[in-house]
Chains A and B, each alone.
Chain A
Amino acid sequence: MIRFENVGLRYDMGPEVLRDLSFEIRPQSFQFLTGPSGAGKTSLLRMLFLALKPTRGLITVLGRDVSTLSRGDLPAIRRRIGVVFQDFRLLDHLTTYENVSLPLRVRGKEEASYRQDVVDLIKWVGLGERMKALPVVLSGGEKQRAAIARALIDQPDILLADEPTGNVDPPLARRLLRLFLELNRTGTAVVIATHDFGLMDQVEARRLVLADGRLQIYD
């Protein structure tokens, strides 16, 4: 699904922050991406969802070599990748419902065709009462769940989540983890970037560990 071969990344003329990364995210797989703060987890995730180009090496996403993609190719690929940002990236002037339905709205779908699905998903992540609330009045955990719902609404092939349980209490973190596992069972490949060992210990899953810009894989 996504394959990295000897990928390196540096910012401007600085040192390489990521070196010789070679791994593959297989269809329907479940993995954690972990490592100390500043190890480059977010940079790696940004390369995974096509926000960053590597300075060297080869990245193949959904069968396409990233270096050959044109701007017009990006939306179709991004529509198959769900992303949960660490800082949520909800649009402040849209309600929870509108934020969650945004991916469907930008695909030009009629609101009537997805309204019930969006409502169901929002209820499922426990935000049924906050449907019309704006992000400014949501707590960190609620924003987190709205961001997760937005990433899931169009049933992506791959879900990339950056610290998705960083702003929630342990019971909710477990619930979210169950949500990700269930999503994975329905066929979505999941990558969760986290440094929450408590969370990782709850699931027997592959771990990609970043340290000093290099990646070690524990299957």
Chain B
Amino acid sequence: MTDAAAPPAAGRFAALRRRLARRAREERQTPIVPPGNVAGRALMTVIGIMTFLASLTVGAVTLVADTASAWQSQISREITVQVRPDDGLDMAAALAKVRATALATPGVRSAEIMGDEATERLLEPWLGDDLDLNDLPVPRLVVIAIDEAAPPDFAGLRDTLRIAVPQASLDDHRAWVSRLVTMAHATVVIGIAILTLVLVATTLTVVFATRGAMSGNRHIIEVLHFVGARSGFIAAEFERHFLKLGLLGAVAGGSTALVLFYAMGRWTALNEATPEADQISALFGSFAIGWTGYAGVVLLVATVGGLTALTSRLTVTRQLAAIDMISPVER
């Protein structure tokens, strides 16, 4: 039974082996553009460094953008009402009225009067620890938690509160949020500008490297011309060469950046309680660039590889036009 089953399987295996052997033989053909030289390695290193820097920029931009949106949603979950002291104002009654008014408004989840202790703690850095709130005309706060999904009408709430307690003013933190978000957006714009510059620099480096490689391999181009190669064939050979270099450099640079991000994320996660990590967390949250950041870096690697190939192809095509003009100029 096994004997009967063996021949077809063996035949398939032999056919596969023949196919692989043929492919291996075809691939064994040496590339027409010499694969390795010093200029190639230098270009690969430059592309690697450029991709590393660009990946860091992508990561930083993602981080800042994510952090900005986190700030925005965290802050918008809470608003505060400030009640300023005034002659003849019964602060406790005013605070209770504000709380009641707020709670009566749709979209408000809870309203808490900031107690004396909490207010004292808040003012301690400025006024010291022996503070008596009754001696000082200190504004008091009511913290209102809002329903993010169905937020209250801020303008209506503001007016209602002002009518109920003229000394009350609503602070929805929008000024803060908009400043923070503007700053974060500016950082993102700067990041994108840096990214663009890095990509332009990479492109120019590839242009110079391609020109260098072409003048270094001019004898090869001439031979290819005389054996009847079309410009498209020669350009494709150079393109393949540079695509390989570009992809290797970009993958090296991109993966170094990814490892760095991952390591930083792990480090902050493991050291959450330490002051250093606290500082980083205060700024960047968990310091995780998220899947968008990782996807951005992968996209960047592919872009750099593709850009390298495209740039070299365009450069080669243009240079070939100059080389292959039959003209009365001796080599």
Query: A residues touching B (Cβ–Cβ < 8 Å)?
Result: 9-11, 43, 49-55, 66, 69, 71-72, 74-76, 78-79, 83, 89, 91, 93-95, 98, 102-103, 105-108, 111-112, 150, 154
Contact = CB atoms under 8 A, between A and B. Distances in A.
Could you say which interface size class chain B belongs to? 20 to 34
A103 B226 CA distance: 9
Given A11-B329, A52-B328, 7 more contacts: A9-B328, A11-B330, A52-B327, A71-B231, A83-B226, A95-B30, A106-B227
Given A52-B326, A111-B29, A74 B225 contact: yes
Nearest to B327: A53
A78 B227 contact: yes
Given A71-B231, A79-B228, A91-B223, A105 B29 contact: yes
B25 A111 contact: yes
Contact of B226 (A78, A98, A107): A78
Nearest to B22: A112
B116 interface: no
Given A89-B219, A91-B220, A98-B30, A71 B227 contact: no
Contacts of A69: 326
B222 to A, nearest CB: 7
Nearest to B25: A111
Interface of B: 22, 25-26, 29-30, 32, 34, 219-220, 222-231, 233, 321, 324-330
A98 B32 CA distance: 9
What 7 pairs between A and B have smallest CB-CB spacing?
A79-B228, A106-B229, A103-B227, A78-B228, A93-B34, A75-B230, A53-B326
Contact of A74 (B220, B326, B328, B330): B326
25 contacts: A9-B328, A11-B328, A11-B329, A51-B326, A52-B326, A52-B328, A52-B330, A53-B327, A69-B326, A71-B231, A71-B324, A72-B231, A75-B229, A83-B226, A89-B223, A93-B34, A95-B30, A98-B29, A103-B228, A106-B227, A106-B228, A111-B25, A111-B29, A112-B26, A150-B227
Contact of A50 (B222, B233, B326, B328): B326
A49 B226 contact: yes
B328 A51 contact: no
Contacts of A75: 225, 228-230
Contact of A54 (B321, B324, B328, B330): B328
A75 B230 CA distance: 6
B231 to A, nearest CB: 7
**Of A54, A89, A108, which is in contact with the most chain B CB atoms at under 10 Å from its CB?**
A89
